[in-house]
Chain A
């Protein structure tokens, strides 16, 4: 006497229909929540798209696989908050494609690392982690300081972001290459142009201590130094973040 499953297995059309049905449950569970994203993201002040230099730094962060050891997601747990600061909001990664959340921390969470250390510490640490942090297992990234940043690709990089919904303006895309160079300028001669395009919360300075070169290190430190600095989380009321 064949079991019901054996009957199903031996009837190809029935079997195909059942496979499609079961697979669609998985799809539904992943896709349906995306339709509610508008009311998942908190409405908070201060979020803006990344400046081109920060975006370039973010691309390097992803390229080098920093996410394999560092999360950017402070969880809603007291121990996490005591160490890293207020829990992360969905809004704070609204311009992240892809986001850098995670639950594996070989190194510390970086969601609010911006401003915690000086640029020169970041430089010393990225070049030789064990010189500044005893027992660190992080590899060195000294080559970033010697690698010129590919600034010419930034307009295209911003444009690609607009395809996935980041609201860069035509002007921001057009000026992306200049903005990249201007943000790493030690004299900050054109900071007003950057402030006009990206708001006041943009760090304009030479990040890697080498005024002669806009390096990949400049971009990465610029990115790290802005992480978690855009939204004034302390000013938020409970109603803003709890639903």
Chain B
């Protein structure tokens, strides 16, 4: 064991030797050691300025008395009051008037798109076209009416959401609960296919007509057009939430339907809800043109 000086690097060896191989003992560069000491000093400064050490029933609060929660609450309160000031006019004017005011649209459409993406797009899609089980907002069929006021109410209280003011609609499970038997359901399906102008079996559809009047017309209307009074879909158009082919209709009639939209009045502010109602109204109107 002998520490020697290495001629090439000018450093000492560790003194160990393995099969003729010796190891250099190069010290850590001074700058690295200095940086290391600085980080330690930095942490000491941090302890003095910021909350750091816990003790029995409290903690050291530091000279700045910083609290992340307090800081963010102040930021939120500031943003909130600014938004309230800026957006108050949205709540002061009737929503129908806002909907037809192009300057409102120019001002809010882009920012509301973000709000829509965060909260609504999961079900109704980024393009508002919906998907199976979740309604298309761009077609002309509205379960609960497509006026800006009614859209706003739907967003506020939801559909079958459990909210006290919810819009409630439930389609019975005609098959599962033995209200109609299999043959009767087949006839009703043929009748619905005929209502919506699809290929159907004429004889069977005529058998389905009285069954439809007896069981379905209370909600969907004798003409099958449904209506926003009860939130029943129009069966005569080509827009289907759960599919309009024979097997989808069988599934729907057999098990019933009770689509749900959450209420947003606890999660979003009145201004946010109003902006979303306007956004949905504008976008859906555009796509129908």
Q: Which residues of A contact B (CB under 8 A)?
A: 32-33, 35-36, 39, 76-78, 81, 83, 85, 87, 115-121, 124-125, 131-134, 234, 238, 241-243
Contacts and interface: CB of A to CB of B under 8 A. Distances in A.
B231 interface: no
Given A120-B259, A124-B133, A81 B54 contact: no
A76 B68 contact: yes
A160 B131 CA distance: 42
Interface of B: 54-59, 67-73, 75-76, 79, 118-119, 122-123, 125-126, 131-134, 259-262, 266-267
Contacts of B75: 78
A118 B54 contact: no
Contacts of A81: 72, 76
Contacts of A35: 56
Contacts of A85: 267
Contacts of B259: 118, 120
Nearest to B79: A78
Given A36-B56, A78-B72, A124-B133, 11 more contacts: A35-B56, A36-B54, A36-B57, A85-B267, A116-B262, A117-B262, A118-B262, A121-B133, A124-B132, A234-B266, A242-B69
22 contacts: A36-B55, A36-B56, A36-B59, A39-B58, A78-B72, A78-B75, A83-B118, A87-B72, A115-B262, A115-B267, A117-B122, A117-B123, A117-B262, A118-B123, A118-B259, A120-B260, A121-B123, A124-B133, A131-B132, A133-B122, A134-B126, A243-B67
Given A36-B54, A78-B72, A120 B79 contact: no
A121 B72 contact: no
Nearest to B257: A120
Please name the 8 residue pairs, one residue from A and one from B, whose CB atoms are nearest each other, closest first.
A118-B260, A76-B68, A76-B72, A36-B54, A242-B70, A242-B69, A78-B75, A121-B123
A241 B266 CA distance: 20
A125 B143 CA distance: 23
Of B69, B75, B267, most A-chain CB atoms within 10 Å: B69
Given A32-B54, A132-B123, A242-B67, A77 B72 contact: yes
B208 to A, nearest CB: 27
Nearest to A118: B260
Given A36-B59, A83-B118, A242 B73 contact: yes
A243 B68 CA distance: 10
B166 to A, nearest CB: 12
Nearest to B260: A118
